[in-house]
């Protein structure tokens, strides 16, 4: 599904944030990138949707080079969830969720039904929440909207950069459970960045441990736990 071949990223100041990365992420896999701050996780994630250009190597999605995609084609088909809740404050929840479907020119009814379905999926009553503004929601509710917004136009791939780390422990656990249940129902490929090993072990089908821009270890939670 997503394949990194000898991928490297060097920023202007000569530091290699990512060095010769070779990875294969399978379709439908929950793939976790973990490692200390500065190990290259976010750089790796953002290269997948070309928010950051590669210095070297190639990333393929379904055998097509990402550089051959139109930026919009790529971005609209890859959901992206950030740690910092990035809902537009002046827009209602419905308008926030509908951004990509509207860019894709879905018709009104289809968008409306999709918003209803997504709010129900994360346990928020559509009749109450649809017309609210982000500031009328709790942090955990806003983050839930951030997650379903990324799913709105039914992308095959969802990238998540520490989406739950700003939340209190109870809300975080609840959202982890939600995302696991969601992943099992929709069977999407998820690439999830965290620095929390407990979270990685709970969520990941496979975990990739990064250090200094390289892969230090990779495997299923069982394999990682049974390695010295
Ligand atoms: P992580 O997500 O694991 O914290 P990052 O991918 O954000 O790591 O960063 C990897 C390395 O690249 C770090 O040393 C960081 O300082 C550096 N880096 C990240 N973004 C930039 C940038 N825009 N310019 C220069 N260096 C950067
Ligand atoms: P994240 O939470 O995504 O890991 P960071 O706190 O690492 O974000 O970085 C925030 C922003 O600053 C990012 O856009 C990153 O590219 C940029 N950045 C990180 N490290 C550096 C650096 N050493 N020099 C310049 N920009 C950086």
With the most atoms of ligand 2 within 8 angstroms of its CB, the residue from 10, 42, 47, 49 to mutate is: 42
Residues 93, 96, 97, 101, CA torsion sign: positive
pLDDT score for 165? 84
User: Which tens digits make up the pLDDT trace of 158-213?
Assistant: 999 999 888 888 888 988 998 888 888 888 899 999 999 999 999 999 999 999 99
The alpha carbon of 187 and the centre of ligand 1 are apart by a number of angstroms equal to 30
Neighbours of 227 (CB within 10 A): 8
Span from the CA of 213 to the centroid of ligand 1 (angstroms): 9
Percent of the chain beyond pLDDT 70?
100
85 confidence band (pLDDT: 50, 70, 90):
confident
Q: What is the 3-state secondary structure (H, E, C) of 187-222?
A: CCEEEEEECCHHHHHHHCCEEEEEECCEEEEEECHH
Model pLDDT for residues 5-40, shown as the tens digit of each residue: 999 999 987 889 999 999 999 999 999 999 999 999
Q: What is the pLDDT of residue 195?
A: 92
∠ at Cα 100 (95, 102), nearest 5°? 65
Q: Which residues of 52-79 are buried (b: 16+ CB within 10 A; e: fewer)?
A: bebeebebebeeeebeebeeeebbbbbb
Strand bridging mode 30-34 / 189-194: parallel
Q: Which of 43, 45, 82, 212 to mutate to test the pocket of ligand 1 (most atoms within 8 A of CB)?
A: 43
Give the model's pLDDT for residue 87: 92
For ligand 2, atom 10: residue with the closest CA: 42
- 7 contacts: CB under 8 Å, gap ≥ 6: 18, 20, 21, 22, 44, 47, 54, 56, 57, 58, 59
Q: Which one has a higher pLDDT value, 13 or 112?
A: 112
Tell me which residues have their CB closer than 6 angstroms to ligand 2.
42, 83, 161
What element of type H or E holds 159?
strand 157-161
Any ligand 1 atom below 6 A from CB of 43: yes
Residue 24 corresponds to which tokens in the numbers above?
Answer: 């294969």
């Amino acid at each position: 599904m997503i394949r990194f071949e000898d991928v490297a990223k060097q920023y202007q100041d000569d530091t290699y944030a990512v060095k010769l990365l070779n990875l294969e992420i399978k379709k439908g896999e929950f793939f976790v990138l973990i490692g200390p701050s500065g190990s290259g996780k976010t750089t790796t994630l953002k290269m997948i949707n070309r928010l950051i250009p590669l210095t070297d190597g190639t990333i393929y999605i379904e055998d097509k080079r990402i550089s051959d995609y139109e930026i919009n084609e790529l971005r609209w088909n890859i959901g992206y969830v950030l740690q910092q809740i990035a809902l537009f404050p002046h827009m209602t929840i419905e308008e926030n969720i509908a951004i990509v479907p509207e860019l894709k020119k879905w018709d009104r009814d289809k968008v409306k039904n999709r918003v209803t379905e997504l709010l129900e999926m994360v346990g928020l009553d559509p009749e109450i929440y649809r017309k609210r503004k982000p500031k009328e929601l709790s942090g955990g509710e806003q983050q839930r909207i951030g997650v379903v917004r990324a799913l709105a136009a039914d992308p095959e791939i969802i990238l998540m950069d520490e989406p739950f780390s700003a939340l209190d422990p109870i809300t975080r656990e609840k959202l982890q459970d939600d995302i696991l249940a969601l992943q099992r129902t929709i069977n999407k490929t998820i690439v999830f960045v965290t620095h929390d090993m407990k979270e990685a072990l709970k969520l990941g089908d496979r975990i990739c441990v990064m250090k200094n821009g390289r892969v230090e270890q990779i495997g299923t939670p069982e394999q990682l736990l049974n390695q010295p």
